[in-house]
Amino acid sequence: MGFREQIQTVKRHDPAMKSGAEIILYPSFWAVGFHRAAHWLYGKKLFWLARFISQVSRGLTGIEIHPGAEIGKGLFIDHGMGVVIGETCSVGDGVTIYQGVTLGGTGKERGKRHPTIGDNVVIGAGAKVLGPFTVGARSHIGAGSVVLQEIPECCTVVGIPGRIVKRDGQKATPSEELDHVRMPDPVSMEFCRLRARIDELEKKIEEKNQ
């Protein structure tokens, strides 16, 4: 991904950016750039040097991307502090990740152990996506969610553990909406469902007693 493309990616996602020169102040810019170099070295089996570059990047940006991870075009990491992307993780094109996100594994198993993130996915601040499954394209993971299983395309996921609260099948690209605050609350939704059920049962009891 070229320098100008990275500038356009940041401009498209961050309204706070006033000029292209500000790109050098964005941790995401440096983290992705360092990762491209580290990943190339990793592919050449220069593992120590690749890890050294990734650790330098981690120290400078607060973003830890394992050199083995596969990163697509147009990745935008907003703020970025505390973001961790594991070795066998695959991130698609146009993905937006907020601070404190972990794309990790669940144990010491070998082989594929980190998630695959589809194109144009948004992952809200503090979310944890753990395991060797796929998050479908254009899905939206709410802030603070813990996702432990596969997510189809075009879904909204919130909660601990993460639950699908919306599956609309629309082709809208959530990574351009940048809204990971106004999300459905699955706990409140469940309480509403239970309340409706209680009201229904109470009505049936009253009818029988008449």
Cα torsion through 15, 145, 142, 198, rounded to 10:
-150
3-state secondary structure of 97: strand
Triad 7, 11, 17: Cα angle to 5°: 105
Q: How far apart are CA 149 and CA 160, in angstroms?
A: 12
Name the domain count of the chain.
1
Identify any residues that bridge with 91 across adjacent strands, giving them in sequence order: 71, 117
Contact criterion met (CB below 8 Å) for 183 and 156: yes
Residues of the chain where predicted confidence (pLDDT) is lower than 50: 171-176
Among left, alpha and beta (phi > 0; psi -120 to 50; other), residue 62 is: left
Q: Which two tokens stand for residue 27?
A: 């941790």
pLDDT at 203: 79
pTM: 0.74
Where does the chain show beta strands of DSSP type E? 64-65, 70-71, 76-77, 84-85, 90-91, 96-97, 102-104, 116-117, 122-123, 128-130, 134-135, 140-141, 146-147, 155-158, 163-167
Contact criterion met (CB below 8 Å) for 126 and 158: no
Q: What is the CATH number of the domain that holds 141?
A: 2.160.10.10
pLDDT at 186: 60
**Structural domain of residue 125, as residue ranges?**
3-209
pLDDT at 172: 43
